[in-house]
Amino acid sequence: MEAAVAKISTKHQVVIPKVVREALNLRAHDRVLFLVDGDRVILQPQPPSFAEALRGLHQELWPDPDA
């Protein structure tokens, strides 16, 4: 696990550190999700399709009827 520090500007903007951009393969104009869990925040790239990203979630509970 790596750590990175960023400063919040007077306009409440943050530059995502290079190590984070590279780890998440983020490019200009990409969208990211901020998932807030208590006092923690998880930053992850927004998937192109939420439906596709959720496909197969809990498949052990909801088996494929066509299988």
How crowded is the C-beta side of 53, counted as CA atoms within 13 Å? Answer: 7
pLDDT tens per residue, range 10-53: 999 999 999 999 999 999 999 998 999 999 999 999 887 766 65
Q: How far apart are CA 19 and CA 30, in angstroms?
A: 16
CA 13, CA 8: separation in Å to the nearest integer? 6
Alpha carbons 55 and 50: distance in angstroms, whole number: 9
pTM: 0.65
- Report domain extents, the chain: 1-67
- Supply the CATH classification number for the domain 1-67: 2.10.260.10
Amino acid in the structure at residue 44:
Q
26 — phi, psi (to 5°)? -90, 140
